[in-house]
Amino acid sequence: MLQITDLQVEQKMWPLLRQAFRPMFLLGASFSAIAMLLWILALAGTISLPVYGNVLVWHAHEMIFGFVAAIVVGFLLTAVQNWTGMRATHGRALGILTTVWLLGRLALLFGANLPAWLVAGIDLLFLPLSAILLAVPLIKVKQQRNLFFVPVLFLLTFCNALMHYGLVSERFDIQQLGSQNAVWLVALLMAIVGGRVIPMFTANGTMTTKAEPIVWLDRIGLGSLWLVFILNITLFSAQLPDVVMAAIYAISAIALGIRCFRWRIWITLRVPLLWSLHIAYWFIPLGLALFALRELGFNISNSIALHAITAGAMGNMILAMIARVSLGHSGRPLQPKAIMSLAFLLVAVAALSRVLLTWLVPELSMSWFMFSAAAWILAYLIYVVVYLPILITPRPDGRPG
């Protein structure tokens, strides 16, 4: 419990800086809509962006290390307060962290004529700083279970550095090594965190019995996904026969698919905050299955398989989670406005059109890109408009956060 003096300080603090989810979710969601709009306009040749590097690298980098990184950090620096019982990052420290993130986005967007070392230096600061802020309370209370998130943030920093190095050295393969392995790391985070919370949320939200984990199944699913990351980041995947990599992708897809099936999406159809999470998780085995088919020689591009994870799993899970966390941690009932159901559907449609329609009807790819981008933008703008009053105002119960 905070002392009375602490509560008085809290009440004077700008609500947006009282917990990390507030600025990170609001700015991250807003940025995703803006960045997607700029990307699709640049792709269509309507505008020219003064970005650092080139527009393709900017899009890949910013959707991962701009948008996704902001949401991941906002989630972790909020959750650590529940995990440890200690007051999480807030106030001036949170303001500095948010400013670092904003400067990174501006440097990448307007960095065409800036020195590469300056842009990279600004951009690479956010995740290590977040890792330190996360580590301090975890170490203080010796909370071992969640300490692994700290090295994951440093691994994401390494992937980010690879993208910058690949750009400076004009090595597209190194750029892709950084961006693609960052995607696998975030997929791992989603698989781990989703496995912890989705069965619990489902049981609580539907008043049914929780689907208890099957330890060996989880170890196979998550272990093979870890193996995917390790083999790709070390480049050993290129040395293995295609059929071996296909088997690893397929094993992870099947195990995670069975895992998700056991959570019974069909009992969640009347609860938008639940079915949206289930749909998001299903995109992980879908993406892995597409990578398996690609390794076996099917006509599936790396971009299509990768977007099942990014646009599909990440896009859907982020929207579902921030819609839920923003309500719960602001002291409000877990009852989103009805229009959020439309937002959840739109981001799912955006992913399906970007992945499946682009694959099945490739001659209309540009049309699918446009349609997908429009659905994504609208989905995240709905979140911003609906949740803006929640994120910038104090909790109604007067508690800190």
80-121 pLDDT tens trace: 998 998 888 999 999 999 999 999 999 999 999 999 999 999
Per-residue tokens: 35:
């960045």
Low-confidence ranges of the chain (pLDDT < 70): 1-11, 401
Using DSSP's 3-state secondary structure scheme, residue 211 falls into coil
According to DSSP, residue 309 is labeled I
- Using CA atoms, how far apart are residues 161 and 120, in angstroms rounded to an integer? 8
Q: Note the pLDDT of residue 6.
A: 58
Per-residue pLDDT at 373? 97
Could you tell me the pTM of the whole model? 0.94
What is the structure's pLDDT at 12? 72
- Phi/psi of residue 171, nearest 5 degrees: -115, 95
Q: What does the alpha-carbon distance between residue 300 and residue 306 come to, in Å, rounded to a whole number? A: 10
Q: How far is CA 4 from CA 1, 89, 102, in A?
A: 9, 19, 33
> How far apart are alpha carbons 71 and 387 in whole angstroms?
15
Give the tens place of pLDDT for each residue, 19-48. Answer: 999 999 999 999 999 999 999 999 999 999
Q: How far apart are CA 171 and CA 191, in angstroms?
A: 31
| Cα four-point dihedral sign 254, 256, 262, 266 | negative
Structure tokens at 27: 């700015």
d(CA 389, CA 86): 26
Q: For residue 314, which of 75, 68, 33 has the smallest C-alpha distance? A: 68
Whole-number Cα distances in Å, 273 to 165, 277, 319, 362: 40, 7, 10, 33
What is the C-alpha separation between 248 and 201, in angstroms, rounded? 30
Give the burial class of 197: count Cβ atoms within 10 A of its Cβ; 0-12 exposed, 13-18 middle, 19 or more buried.
middle
From CA 234, how far away is CA 229, in angstroms rounded?
Answer: 8
User: Can you give the pLDDT at residue 87?
Assistant: 87
pLDDT of residue 11: 65
Determine the straight-line distance between the first and last CA of the chain, rounded to whole angstroms: 12
The fraction of the chain above a pLDDT of 70, given in percent, is 97
**What pLDDT, in 10s, does the model give residues 128-153?**
999 999 999 999 998 888 999 999 99
CB atoms within 10 A of CB 398: 10
Q: How much helix, strand and coil, in percent to the nearest 5, is found in the chain?
A: 80, 0, 20
Q: What Cα–Cα distance (Å) separates residue 236 from each residue in 113, 186, 232, 241, 245?
A: 37, 20, 6, 10, 10
Residue with tokens 């929780």: 210
User: What's the half-sphere exposure (Cβ side, CA atoms, 13 Å) at 319?
Assistant: 37
The contacts of residue 170 (CB under 8 Å, 6+ apart) are: none
